[in-house]
Amino acid sequence: MALLLLPFLLPAQTGNQPAATQNSREQSAAGSQQEEITPEMRENFEEGIKHLLVSQVEAWNHGKLEEFMQGYWHSPDLTFFSGGSITHGWEPTLERYRQRYQAEGREMGKLEFQDLNIDLLGKKSAVVTGKFQLTMSDGKHPHGIFTLILKRMPPNGWKIVHDHTSAAAE
């Protein structure tokens, strides 16, 4: 049986590809060259993303939820996944935060991000992963992990277009 498959496997293993496949690979390679990020650009893009995240932490820690939300894409297409639910849109995401952290008997605590990893996918998109920790007045420390998808949207800079946050079990 293996001998019957051998003629079909050899072209794939030796790199003999149909012209359509080769053209597709060449176009993909050309596209990745156009998307090439210089070290200077990488540094600027990463600094822009870090600035967004630091601004969010500062706003949160001063109880300014609307300022915190400025890091998010102000669009009905924003998505926020957390706690087994999906929230669509900037306004519903803001309302979700208000209910969880500014409603009667609730507090925002002090926010800290840790172990940030910024992965630039191109000149206009990035994935950020990390950990968050809140320090509450009662000494509790809710924490968890997150994945953010960001897009660079001139002239507004980087914006979070998708947030997937998972809180650790207490």
Per-residue pLDDT of the chain (170 residues; tens, 9 = 90+): 344 333 333 333 444 444 444 444 444 444 444 578 999 999 999 999 999 999 999 999 999 999 999 999 999 999 999 999 999 999 999 999 999 999 999 999 999 999 999 999 999 999 999 999 999 999 999 999 999 999 999 999 999 999 999 999 87
Q: List Cβ neighbours of 120 (8 Å cut-off, separation of 6 or more).
A: 37, 42, 45, 46, 126
Query: pTM value?
Result: 0.79
